[in-house]
Structure 1
């Protein structure tokens, strides 16, 4: 039913009642479990100053997971270019690629990774938001420096993350594979894909348009259990709808007791309908539908649930259902 690679996006949620060190311990175990299950790659997202998501640099998590696995591809999804000097990004991921040949990806994104303007400015040493031109220059510099600085060794595989038509057009123009953030802005997916494929120019990095689609995916034995496990992320999303980003990641029981407004319920149901949440049959059918509708070459699943075992179980059920 699904004949393209399946991968995972790890956002390193810090569960209520746990410490950041517990989340870090789980990242290596998570990578080992997904390697055992046959997932193609795992990416780590960059976030800052959030009580729900750990501020763990993707390059560090990539190195940590690579040291305890042997086959699964690993990398950033993504490292946020405006927060880093291009040469630093090139050197860090070039070094990882040299240490773990043919296993390292460099997914590059634009956002600040935080809703706190003070933290965003601190990351950029006092500078304001990055302009389109500055972002294009940063990405081009990273690609150029990868070749110049690591020319004698293996290179990481670069990707550009996109949730807007501008990002998609840039990925196409540079001839990069694109990772589409369907799990964040599903309403933009069709336009993003159209702009990317129209703008695509072959490059040393990619000979043809290549699309990875990231989908929020929660799979459990029953529909009801999947909704229960996915409840905590609904609380986080409801907060974001109000412009509130400082809430912790609740337990499923806390989420079930959360007083959602009717407007929030409708918005969350609309978002969930565009993702993949439910029993194995429901989830696999939905993922196959998304792959068919978008022509994606790969699906990346992100599963923001509270318990580490439940998160691994979600990926396990999907693999088991696919045989």
Structure 2
């Protein structure tokens, strides 16, 4: 796996018994640590009205991290097109790219970034969910504005986030690199990649298909410790399986005391088998397998664990053993 670039997705988890400002204070230190370890890029995800994830705009987090690092790429993974005017996104990321030359990515996604319908409507000024045609028009407008209206120098590198064949098809049609959300919908990964590669049309943005696969990765010195660190996110996922809105991100001790139903445990076990959790040997073997199966050009790791030091240690163990 040594020849596969590694990067990180930071979802800015707000842990139980902490404040959102504490999470914000960690973002620059996290970027500095991953730059030191040799990771290629960090992306920040857009979320709203969640007790477990901070509502921190990706463009702000990227700017904050870029100011305290020197070579690692920063960007969104993703900023959600339906929530923003295309010109505004082009201006924001175009400005960042001018300030931090050849270091800024613009990863664009479609979802609302929230499970709360009132929040989703507020983000869209009362409008309902975006249609396929509207989403395509938004992406095309963002790309056009970057080139024709905003260009202040080097452009941000655009990526399209996808978790289905429809998103992958749009990325192929527009000639964009694609970032597959394997950490969210792993069952869709292979079909989406097949569609993307078959339909890809070269563009000014990419001459060939380029694939990034994001995988949930939790690494520790022992299998038992990795399972303990994975416990809080398991509780959050179990809540989503019940159709509940997001819950606060629990401590490992709170997660250890949680009782899962048989159905929840089966679903969690199945999901974890498609991700990468365990010792360095287990995790690197699984990441290598996933890279081989998908033909990914890059793997992006997302590590939703409670403690900042444990999260950095997970990334350190993966990089040192790759």
Whether contact under 8 Å (2:51, 2:248) holds in the other structure is: yes
Distance 1:321 1:295 in 2: 20
The reply to whether residue 260 of structure 1 matches residue 255 of structure 2 is: no
The answer as to 2:39 corresponding to 1:9 is no
**Alignment match, 2:299:** 299
- For residue 45 of structure 1, what is the aligned residue in structure 2? 45
- The reply on whether 1:61 has 2:67 as its aligned counterpart is no
Equivalent residue number for residue 246 of structure 2: 246
Aligned to 2:88: 88
Give me the whole-angstrom Cα distance separating, in 2, the residues matched to 1:24 and 1:195. Answer: 38
Corresponding position of 1:125: 125
The residue correspondences of 1:212-291 to structure 2 (distance < 5 A) are 212-291=212-291
Aligned equivalents of 1:116 and 1:125: distance in 2?
14
Distance in 2 separating the partners of 1:80 and 1:150 = 19
TM-score by length of 1: 0.99
SS in 2 for 1:197: helix
Whether 1:314 aligns to 2:314 is: yes
Separation (CA, whole Å) in 1 of partners of 2:15 and 2:141: 37
CA distance in 1, matches of 2:206, 2:263: 43
Deviation digits for residues 225-282 of structure 1, max 9, x if unmatched? 0010010000000011111123100011111111100000000000000000000000
Counterpart contact for 1:182–1:213, Cα < 8 Å:
yes
Report if the CA contact (8 A) 1:232-1:250 is conserved: yes
TM-score (normalizing by structure 2): 0.99
Distance, in Å, in 2 between the alignment partners of 1:3 and 1:284 is 13
Single out whichever of 217-226 and 143-152 deviates more from structure 2: 143-152
Whole-Å separation in 2 of the counterparts to 1:79 and 1:227: 31
Contact residue 80 and residue 111 of structure 1 kept, 8 A: yes
Cα distance in 2 between the residues matched to 1:151 and 1:286: 41
2:180–2:189: 8 Å Cα contact kept in structure 1?
A: yes
RMSD across aligned positions (CA): 0.6
**1:76 counterpart = 2:51:** no
SS in 2 for 1:255: helix
Structure 2 CA distance, aligned partners of 1:243 and 1:144?
39
**1:107-140 CA distance string (max 9 Å, x none):** 0000000000000000000000000000000000
* Contact 2:229–2:252 under 8 Å retained in 1: yes
SS of residue paired to 1:18 = coil
For 1:182, the equivalent position in structure 2 comes to 182
Q: Which runs of 5+ in 1 are unaligned?
A: none
Shift of 1:150: 2.9
Contact (CA 8 Å) 1:2, 1:288: kept in 2 or not? no
Structure 1 residue 152, shift from structure 2 partner: 4.6
Q: Provide runs of 4+ in structure 1 moved above 4 Å.
A: none
Query: Equivalents in 2 of 1:312, 1:167: separation in Å?
Result: 31
**Residue correspondence of structure 1 range 76-225 to structure 2 within 5 A:** 76-225=76-225
SS in 1 for 2:299: strand
Segment of structure 1 superposing worse, 238-247 or 36-45: 238-247
Corresponding pairs, count? 322
